[in-house]
Structure 1
């Protein structure tokens, strides 16, 4: 006699139970025994189903089920009920082998086992050491990549699941039609911009005509089943968001690492996501030793903005570029911890420019980029912040393009915005300021080479963010006051932003020189002028 293990939600009906069991039993299989978790054995629908067919019904404690090895464990189920698979464990507890693995039918999960003595041997088969044998092998998905560019895809549904599906196929270049009476604001925006076609009505037969792929994502089981049925008749592969196992296609969890797409299929969603994330992270940070192939025609240069200093704030693309670099030309403000993680064969060149101290000439930096790239190496120019915000990135790009070197620019998070934010200071705030200005303080007001219109900045009501302006701060503060800014305008100075030694002080324009001297503030530091400093201070005081 077969044993049918059952996991079920509260409130299921006898009809649902019998439909789920009948779906996995072969015709003429005879009576079965039902088994489940002891806390579910009194469910009225389950009891009624067993009585209707005259099947024995047994409940087992979670502790006993947890000791049974199962082929499809779920951490989420284990956390909820104490055993990683109610259906498979309940079916196997009496001994034997699974003939039908864990299968989901609506709110019910079933698995079928048969005692070893009752299992007929198949010619050419053998025990592989696992519990799955005989009548039904575990489902095997054939992974395939679809070239959807310029091909019609129909998404039925307008909620979050539909939006997720639309985003994926749009990225592949598909011609997307969304069929749904209502859609999320994001989908409505895509329709308004012409990126998708929206049919604002319910699904009806014929909507899949001409489609290469269909996505059923309404959340209504009857509608999604109709979409899947029509797709089957039209030989159109279809996915279902509500019950993926009932569709002809299954979407993997995906991630991107440069020009690679990582796709993972698996019955345990959280585990598949974990595998995806681990692979993508390993490719991004270089812990998976997979080097990108050599580019035909020689080397290349990537100008990477490393962000404000915290290695976690570099962009994904920036991290990927570092993972494939042969040579890294690094500023002293670039995230230093990232350099320590590079393989020993990567050459690191110190291109630091210390404030009013030792520095490598920009011309020499340009020469190094070109020399190493011409030697066939992949060169990363790693900078702090963003390459194009006081980073002389355009000069380096011009030098490379003049030499015929392929060059890519990877933007970074500029410290002008990130460092104040990390100190709790927004550079804009509704109703308070409609503009902010980022200014280099490298040259003081009145310097013959300065290009800053200090009188105009003094007349501004908005936020002024000063970079590279510690030594010149007294002269800058005096110029702002001279040209209209109130002496008591709030100022915040944030030193060593985003690093373990980050610290900040608050003062006013009039007191800024004294505060810097008393606090011993040294570069790198960002200072912010404006009423946003006062607002941020009041919020911090209430926290």
Structure 2
């Protein structure tokens, strides 16, 4: 059973902790910052609790009358029978009760808490694994700006001035949202003059029609999602996804990345693969332009790196032609990362002093090979081909025809979202047949050269 995370105000409310040992002290410390009037009752209470002026301590046995008027009760004794009796008494009177380490008798559970000033986040696994909750709490705490308390105080303080200076509710809401994002991104609080200037600038840049519709220019960020597992994305790319109001994404994107977008973010799938086109490039360009012109913060999420055969430069040119602000966040390209995951370096002293990345899918007929293969054969180094699975046999044959030795090591590597790889190794002569026998499907990276036989 899952527990709904209600947030309740316990400031100046009466709370009771039954128990005076280490566990009781731990629970007392958790509720202490929230201002409740805590009474601790036990025959023997540790000095740490008795010396804390935030708690009222009574060294005596518990009696049923102790729960009267309580907003919540915590049973933290080492007497299981007494804990159960306290739980029954509280449930009869509709009082929230927590029985330590016995969730079947709990009316509420203690989450793992992250608290920074006005920010409170609670994480619960419904008692399944407190260790996981604690680990997630630590990760969340590490992600927070170190000025979180000051940021929240500032954001609260500007709400009233913004209400006076920005009459339109929707413009004001957008200003507050963008100011909050600025504080989080830059881990700072703007001073008073900067705040007033931002309000003035915002009002000038956002025009209103007679219907009150906001007309402002948005922006587009081209984000490389990396390849394979979602955690290969850069921190800058992940933050862009979190800020996105519209997310336009491709195939070969780990679905877990989409979970980082806000609930209000509009997600538009425009996946493209060889032989299966969901959207033409011109239509994708039009989607980006349309939403940016509505004043939206648009993220174009692409596998690998946007500028490595990702047509990101074409999208950027189309956006700049419409005078739409656009930036690019690099991603880890599969040309390097997928072979590396299989233990194949694209360069290695004594084997390969250079590498060359080539797309095997060229504009024109589906089975056309890239230009310049004859020149590439003469160049020492590693050849990395992307989008070439559908004509691997033809590609290998042409390279041998141009003089590449049939004994040249070759490998085909497929990266998966779980971070694992599947690889087929052979020579230029037999690699196509081995891949066919393996049943490996597209997409995969083709590596040809001396390093393709390595397995680090």
Per-residue deviation at 1:337?
2.2
- 1:335 paired residue among 251, 254, 265: 254
CA distance in 2, matches of 1:443, 1:298: 35
Contact 1:301 1:407 in 2 (8 A): yes
Which deviates more, 387-396 or 333-342? 333-342
Which stretch shows the higher mean deviation, 478-487 or 323-332? 478-487
Instruction: Give yes or no for contact 1:493–1:505 (8 Å, CA) kept in 2.
Output: yes
Per-residue deviation, 1:359: 3.2
Query: Are the aligned partners of 2:242 and 2:260 in contact in 1 as well (CA < 8 Å)?
Result: no
1:392 to 307, 311, 330: 311
Match of residue 452 from structure 1:
371
Q: 1:94 to 1:373 in 2, by over 3 A?
A: closer
Aligned length: 284
- Who is 1:535 aligned against? 454
Aligned with 1:464 (options 373, 380, 383) = 383
2:288 match: 369
Offset, 1:335: 2.5
Report the secondary structure of 1:471's partner residue.
helix
Deviations 1:500-521 (A, max 9, x none): 6741111111002211221122
**Structure 2 residue ranges without an equivalent (≥5):** 1-19, 30-45, 58-118, 120-134, 149-175, 182-201, 206-215
Give 1:340 deviation, angstroms.
4.3
Q: Does residue 1:512 correspond to 2:438, yes or no?
A: no
Distance in 1 of aligned mates of 2:21 and 2:237? 48
In 2, the alpha carbon distance for the partners of 1:377 and 1:453 equals 42
Q: Is residue 351 from structure 1 mapped to residue 270 from structure 2 by the alignment? A: yes
Alignment TM-score, normalising by the size of structure 2: 0.55
Q: CA offset at residue 96 of structure 1?
A: 6.8
Query: For 1:474 and 1:275, how far apart are their aligned partners in 2?
Result: 49
Q: Structure 1 pair 445/374, CA: closer, same or farther in 2 (3 Å)? A: closer
In structure 1, C-alpha distance between the alignment counterparts of 2:301 and 2:454, rounded to whole Å: 35
Find the aligned partners of 2:307 and 2:276 in 1 and give their Cα distance.
22
Q: Secondary structure at the match of 2:405?
A: coil
Aligned CA RMSD, in angstroms, stands at 3.8
> Does the CA contact (< 8 Å) of 2:219 and 2:295 recur in 1?
yes
Larger radius of gyration: 1
- What is the CA-CA distance between 1:70 and the residue it aligns to? 9.3
**Equivalent residue number for residue 322 of structure 1:** 241
CA distance in structure 2 between the partners assigned to 1:459 and 1:416 by the alignment: 21
Q: Deviation at 1:532?
A: 1.2
Deviations along 1:366-406, one digit per CA (max 9) or x if unpaired, are 11101000011111101000000001111111111111111
Match of 1:279 in 2: 144
Contact 2:243 2:261 in 1 (8 A): no
Partner of residue 477, structure 1: 396
| Cα shift at 1:349 | 1.3
Residues 473 and 398 (structure 1), Cα distance of their counterparts in 2 relative to 1, 3 Å cut: same
**Is 2:338–2:421's contact at 8 Å kept on the other side of the alignment?**
no
Q: Which residue of 1 aligns with 2:348?
A: 429
1:338-374 CA-to-partner distances (Å, cap 9, x unmatched) read: 2245344221111111212223111111111010000
Gaps of 5+ in 1: 1-63, 74-91, 99-126, 132-261, 263-269, 284-289
Native 8 Å contact 2:222 2:301 kept in 1: yes
Q: Which one has the bigger helix percentage?
A: 2
Distance 2:443 2:383 in 1: 17
Per-residue Cα deviation, 1:169-219 (whole angstroms, up to 9, x for no partner): xxxxxxxxxxxxxxxxxxxxxxxxxxxxxxxxxxxxxxxxxxxxxxxxxxx
C-alpha distance in structure 2 between counterparts of 1:464 and 1:446, whole Å: 23
Cα displacement string for residues 88-113 of structure 1 (whole angstroms, at most 9, x for unaligned residues) = xxxx8599748xxxxxxxxxxxxxxx
Aligned partner of 1:409 among 328, 331, 344: 328
2:55 match: 129
- Per-residue CA deviation, residues 391-428 of structure 1 (Å, 9 max, x unaligned), is 11111111111111111100000000111111111111
Q: Cα deviation per residue 1:430-480 (whole Å; 9 max; x = unaligned)? A: 222100111101149999976531112112231111100001211211122
TM normalised by structure 1 equals: 0.47
User: Is the contact between residue 494 and residue 505 of structure 1 (CA under 8 Å) also seen in structure 2?
Assistant: yes
- Looking at structure 1, the residues matched to 368 and 400 of structure 2 have their Cα atoms a distance apart, in angstroms, of 22
* Alignment partner of 2:221 out of 293, 297, 302: 302
Q: Contact 2:244–2:297 at 8 Å: present in 1 too?
A: yes
Distance in 1 (CA, whole Å) between partners of 2:259 and 2:51 is 52
1-structure distance, mates of 2:290, 2:49: 70
d(CA) in 1 for partners of 2:418, 2:49: 59
Alignment of 1:112-151 (within 5 A): 127-129=53-55
